[in-house]
Amino acid sequence: MLVDSHCHLNMLNLSEFDNNLDNVMLAAKDAGVTHFLCVSVTLEDHATLSKISQSYDNVSISTGLHPNELPQQPLDVERLASYAEHPKIVAIGETGLDYFRSEGDLAWQQERFCQHIEIAKKLKKPLIIHTREAKADTIEIMKREAADKASGVMHCFTEDWEMAKKALDLNFYISFSGIVTFKTAHILQDVAKKVPLDRMLVETDCPYLAPIPHRGKMNQPAYVKHVAEFIAQLRNTSFDAIAQATTENYFRLFNAQKS
């Protein structure tokens, strides 16, 4: 049994699946994927994600505003908090800092990150954190705002062991995507060897970042199996051990209902 702990089912090009999300879910089931966390990037996603979660008992959802979305627009905190009360919402995010795709004074991005953390602590729901080229500021804000009280996951982790260790010390989990399978991802592969098994998740981040052997194609939840298989090889352990641990970790962190 596997969990795709971070996917964007609403962004998939369903033309490859006879325009039916059911076929995506069947392909995932055939690969042993039994639960999905469909993640928000804007508050406008809420209606669509809610509909998907109502259609599939094994889909949980989040609510949040991605750091690169709607640049400099203030976060509607009341709206976010209201959406977060939805029974299928198990996390706040994705949120965080991305200095790669945003330029100039990014105080607005930092403020939105802090607001997400505050709501997560208040509602006792874990955070989904996106970070890119913002290691120092991400960790500093997490420490200053006591993000450890909410816990959460560093999603699609691409940084080094030094940052992973700091995140682990703040009560966060580390999630690996298809990037870990890339031939050039030596630093990330070193992290995947070192992260404690009880603090690891796997994800696709589909439709992006398909793992080898599907790199360059549209990603889908079924492909999370390749991520787990690759990590098992890296750690010289069994696929079943990785699948069982990451699944147990997911349900422990997000307190999601098993279907």
**Ordered per-residue pLDDT tens for the chain, 259 residues:** 999 999 999 999 999 999 999 999 999 999 999 999 999 999 999 999 999 999 999 999 999 999 999 998 999 999 999 999 999 999 999 999 999 888 888 999 999 999 999 999 999 999 999 999 999 999 999 999 999 999 999 999 999 999 999 999 999 999 999 999 999 999 999 999 999 999 999 999 999 999 999 999 999 999 999 999 999 999 999 999 999 999 999 999 998 766 6
Domains and CATH numbers, the chain: 2-254 (3.20.20.140)
What is the residue whose two structure tokens read 């039994």? 34
Q: Is 8 annotated as a binding residue?
A: yes
CA-to-CA distance for 207 and 131, rounded, in angstroms? 18
Any known ligand binding at 6? yes
Q: Is 155 annotated as a binding residue?
A: yes
Q: Any binding-site annotation on 130?
A: yes
- Rounded distance between C-alpha atoms, residue 157 and residue 211, angstroms: 14
The answer to whether the annotation marks 94 as part of a ligand binding site is yes
